[in-house]
Amino acid sequence: MKLQDLFPFLCIFFTITTAQTTIQPGTTLSASNPNQTWSSPNSTFYIGFSQVDSSSSYTLTINYNGGVPIWTAGNSTTTVNSEGSFQFLSSGNLRLLNGSGATVWDSNTTGRGVTTASLDEFGNLVLKNGTLPVWSSFDNPSDTIVPNQTLRVDQVLRSGSYSFRFLSSGNLTLKWNDSVEYWNQGNTSINANLTSPTLGLQPTGILSIFSAAFTSGPHVVAYSSDYGDVGTRLRFLKLDEDGNFKMYSTDIGSKTANMVWSALTDQCEVFGYCGNMGICSYNESSSSPICDCPSENFEPVDVNDSRQGCKRKAEIDSCPGNATMLEIDHAKFLTYEPELSAQIFYMGISACRSNCLSQGSACIASTSLSDGTGQCYAKPPGFISGYRNPALPSTSYVKVCGPALPNPPPGVLTVEKSRSGRFRFWVVCVAVAITLLGLIALESGLWWWCCRNSPKFDSLSAQYALLEYASGAPVQFSYKELQRSTKEFKEKLGAGGFGAVYKGVLANKEVVAVKQLEGIEQGEKQFRMEVATISSTHHLNLVRLIGFCSEGRHRLLVYEFMKNGSLDNFLFTTEEQSGRLLNWEQRFKIALGTAKGITYLHEECRDCIVHCDIKPENILLDENYKAKVSDFGLAKLINAKDHRYRTLTSVRGTRGYLAPEWLANLPITSKSDIYSYGMVLLEIVSGRRNFEVSAVTNRKKFSVWAHEEFEKGNVNAILDQRLTDQDVDMEQVTRAIQVSFWCIQEQPSQRPMMGKVVQMLEGIAEIERPPAPKAITESSTTSGTSIMSSNVSALTTFAASAPASSSSSSYQTMGVSPLASGRNIERASSSLLHSDPN
C-alpha cells in the first residue's frame, strides 16, 4: 500500500476521535442495572456503576472498554446501594444519589449555564455551556491520569490517606495524611521553579513533564516496561490504595491491567502500608510484602486485615510494672531519615535505647544505626510505620509495657497463638539452642585441633577458596566476605542492566569484579543451577565467573577483572585521545574474538545460550586488549513477575542492537544475537554508533547510510576517520563490512550462523555481495515519513491479527533514549533463551 492511499483513513481517524456522544439533561443511570451506560462515540470508554467486591454497594466510574476504571465520582468510599442513581439534571449538574435519597456526590455546576454533557474518546467527561467547557473529569482527577490528561501543580491525586502531588520544581511527591512525605523525586537538571509545568503521560508509556521553560521538548520522568506499542492499549497512572504511584497497561476489552512501572520499587518503603505499629517485611517465598506486629506485646487491630496495624495489649500509661524497650533487629521506622533534625541524636546503641526509655511520653520508639555513624533516631508519640529486612543496618526499639515478649519470625504473628502453641515454641527454641551450642563446641574443638599449628587462621579459608577456584567450580562467598573485599562496595566500575559492578580484591589478592544483581527473586536452587551453567561455560573470549554469593536477598556474582574496561570506551571516545584509540589490527582481533566467544555460546557448549544483549558495553578488554564477552546467561535469571524490578535501568536489550523480531513479537533465536553482533562489527569498523544520525550521513541512520556508501564502492567513508592515516588492511575492512551487512539482514534466515561469521572474517569462507538490510532502509529518514512507514507496517501486522506494534524507527523519531520495550523482559526470561540452531 502506498502512503498516499493511507491519507483518507488517517483523516477519518481524526474526525472520529474528536466526535462525541452527547448526553441530554434529564438522563439517569441506575445502579440496579449495571448494563446501562453512557459510552464514548467508539465505545472506547463508558460511564457506569460498578459493584464493589460483590458487596451491595456501587461506585460510579468512567471505565476503559473492558471495565478498568480511570475516574471515580468522589473516592472509593463514595458508594451507593442498589437503589442508587446517577443523574444529569436539567439544572446542569451531575449528581450521585443514594437509594435513601441522600446526595453523596455533586459536580456543583448548577447555574453555570451547562447545556450538554459528553464523554470523549480520551475518557474525558465534559460539561459544556454551548461549546465552552465548564467542568471536566480530567480537571477533577480522582486517583488516575490517562494519556491526553495533564496534571497541574494545584491538582492532587488521592487514595485513602495517600496523596500524590506534582510540584512547581518539577519534583513528584507522595505523602501520607498530607503531612508525612515518603517519596520525593526530582531531577537535578531542573533546578528552578518552572513556569506553568504539567505532568502528562504519552500513549506510548512515557511519563513526562511539560513546561514552556524547556526548549528541547518534554522532560522524561519514566518509561513503562512495555513502552512503545500504542495500538489498542491504554496506559495510565494511578495512585493505588497501597500508597504506591504506578503505571498500568491494559488492552482494550480486558478486565485487568498489568503494572508496568512504580514510583517506589520497595513497597515496604510506603509510609503506613502496614498501619500504625505494623511492621512490613518480605518472606523468602513471595515478593509481596507481609504485615506483622512487632511482638506479642501487640495484637492486630483487625485479625482479618493485617494492614490495619496493631495496638498494644497493655497501654504504657496504665502499665502495672515498668515500661521497657522491645528490641527489633534489622528494622527501621519510616520515614528514614526523619524529617525533623530534632529527632536525630548521636549516641551508642544502648544509649539510643535507654534515652528513649527515660524520656517518658516524649519518645515511644527509636532506631539506632549500626553503620558506624552512631546515629539514633527518636520517634515522638504518633503513627509508627516499621520495616524489617535482614539487609537493614539498624536496630529499632519500641516502648512496651514490660516484660518484652519475643518477636517471632515474620508472618506468624498475625494469628493469636494458643498457650500450648507458645509452650511448644519455647521447647523448640531451647532444643535448637542446645543443639547449636553443642555443634559450636564441637566445631571449635576441631578447629583448634587442626589449626593450632597454623600461624594464621585466615589463610585457611583463602586456601580453601583457591582450591575450589582451581577446580573450576564456582566458589561460594559470604556476603560479609564480598563486603570486605570490595571495601563496602566502594569502587564502582559501572552499572549494567542487572545491577552495579564493583572492584574487589579477594583474600588470595586476586582482583575481581563483583556484580550486585538486582531484582533476582529466584529461589536459591534455581539461582545455583544458573550459576552452575554460567560457570561451566569456559572460553578464552568469555569473561570467567569465579564465584557467587546467595545469602538472604543478596545475589552477587564474582567475575575476573578486566583491566581495560568495555569496548565502547575505546570506540566512541569524543576527544582526540589517541592513546586510547585502537588501531585496525587490534579492532580486527576484537571483532574476531567476540565472534568466537559467541560461537562458543551458540554452537559449542553443552547448554547453549542466547546472549540477548550483545553491545560494545558488554564486550570487555583485558590487559592485552583481548575481547571477552560478559553478561551471558544472565537474562534467564530475571524474574519478570517481580514488581520491584521493573525499573528503567533494568530493561533488557538495547535499541540499536535489537533485532527486528524483538519488536515484531517473533521468536528470539541465536539469529537475534547475530543481528546485534553485526551492528557491533559495523561500529568497530566505523567508530560510530549504528543509530547515529548526522549531517555527514545525510540525516540517515549510520547503518543505512553505510550500506549506500558501500554500494557506491566508498569503503573509506565507512572506516573510522581516525584510522585513515594509519596502516590499514583494506581487504580485511571490506570483509568486515560485508559480514556486518549479512548479519543485519531483516530476515533471520538470511543471517549467517556465528561459526560462518568467524570463517568469513578469517577469509576462509567466501562472502557473497550482501543485499541491502531492507527493513532499515525503509525506516531510514527521520522526518514524518518514518512514522508513516512504521504505521504501514503496524497496520499490515494488525491485519494479520498480530498486536500492532511500532517499529524502531518511531522511537528514533520521538527522540527517546535507547530503550527496548518491556516485553523484552518477559521474553528474555522465558525459555526462549536456549539457542535454536536454525
Q: Which residues are catalytic?
A: 613
Spatial contact of 116 and 24, defined as CB atoms under 8 Å apart = yes
Beta strand 545-551 with 475-476 is: parallel
Q: Is 106 in the site for ligand NAG (CB under 6 A)?
A: yes
Closer Cβ to ligand NAG, 40 or 824, answer by number: 40
Question: At residue 411, what are phi and psi to the nearest 5 degrees?
Answer: 90, -5
Q: Is 122 in the site for ligand NAG (CB under 6 A)?
A: yes
Angle at 545 between CA 544 and CA 547, to 5 degrees: 150
Closer Cβ to ligand NAG, 59 or 486, answer by number: 59
- To the question of whether residue 515 is assigned a binding role by annotation, the answer is yes
Closer Cβ to ligand NAG, 75 or 782, answer by number: 75
How many residues bind to ligand NAG according to rule CB under 6 A?
Answer: 51
Q: Is 322 in the site for ligand NAG (CB under 6 A)?
A: yes
Q: Is 229 in the site for ligand NAG (CB under 6 A)?
A: no
Shortest gap between Cβ of 540 and ligand NAG (angstroms)? Answer: 37
Binding letters toward ligand NAG, positions 408-437, x by CB under 6 A:
------------------------------
Interface stretch with ligand NAG, choices 188-196, 459-467, 483-491, 792-800 (CB under 6 A): 188-196
Q: Tell me the C-alpha distance between 782 and 596, whole Å.
A: 35
Q: Is 129 in the site for ligand NAG (CB under 6 A)?
A: yes
Q: Is 146 in the site for ligand NAG (CB under 6 A)?
A: no
Closest CA to 555 of 599, 595, 524, 594: 524
51, β-bridge pairs? 58
Residue ranges in 150-169 that form contacts with ligand NAG under rule CB under 6 A: 150, 158, 160, 167, 169
Q: Tell me the C-alpha distance between 809 and 579, whole Å.
A: 36
Q: Tell me the C-alpha distance between 531 and 513, whole Å.
A: 16
Among 3, 10, 52, 132, binds ligand NAG (CB under 6 A): 132
Interface stretch with ligand NAG, choices 93-101, 476-484, 503-511, 614-622 (CB under 6 A): 93-101
Shortest gap between Cβ of 206 and ligand NAG (angstroms)? Answer: 11
Among 44, 109, 396, 486, binds ligand NAG (CB under 6 A): 44
Closest CA to 105 of 85, 124, 123, 125: 85
Shortest gap between Cβ of 618 and ligand NAG (angstroms)? Answer: 21
Among 91, 100, 256, 286, binds ligand NAG (CB under 6 A): 100
Q: Tell me the C-alpha distance between 338 and 181, whole Å.
A: 10
Interface stretch with ligand NAG, choices 125-133, 480-488, 592-600, 692-700 (CB under 6 A): 125-133
List, in order, residues 6 or more apart from 614 with CB less than 8 Å away: 594, 598, 629, 657, 673, 676, 677, 680
Q: Is 179 in the site for ligand NAG (CB under 6 A)?
A: yes
Shortest gap between Cβ of 322 and ligand NAG (angstroms)? Answer: 4
Question: Rounded to an integer, what is the distance from CA 558 to the centroid of its chain?
Answer: 24
For cell 570490595, name the residue. 486
Question: At residue 555, what are phi and psi to the nearest 5 degrees?
Answer: -135, 115
Length of the chain (residues): 838
Residue ranges in 651-710 that form contacts with ligand NAG under rule CB under 6 A: none
Spatial contact of 25 and 89, defined as CB atoms under 8 Å apart = yes
Spatial contact of 207 and 260, defined as CB atoms under 8 Å apart = no
Instruction: Report the 10 Å Cβ neighbour count for 495.
Output: 13
Q: Tell me the C-alpha distance between 105 and 95, whole Å.
A: 6
Residue ranges in 551-580 that form contacts with ligand NAG under rule CB under 6 A: none
Among 94, 96, 97, 104, binds ligand NAG (CB under 6 A): 104
Grid cell locating 224? 513503562
Strand arrangement of the beta sheet that strand 492-496 belongs to:
475-476, 545-551, 554-560, 511-516, 499-505, 492-496
Binding letters toward ligand NAG, positions 4-23, x by CB under 6 A:
--------xx--xxx-----
Question: Rounded to an integer, what is the distance from CA 14 to the centroid of its chain?
Answer: 34
Interface stretch with ligand NAG, choices 179-187, 370-378, 477-485, 620-628 (CB under 6 A): 179-187
Beta strand 278-281 with 385-388 is: parallel
Closer Cβ to ligand NAG, 81 or 87, answer by number: 81
Residues contributing to the annotated binding site: 515
Binding-site residue numbers for ATP are 515
Which residues here bind ligand NAG, judged by CB under 6 A? 12-13, 16-18, 33, 35, 42, 44, 74-75, 77-78, 81, 98-100, 102, 104, 106-108, 112-113, 121-122, 129-130, 132, 148, 150, 158, 160, 167, 169, 171, 177, 179, 184-187, 189, 192-193, 219-220, 321-322, 382-383
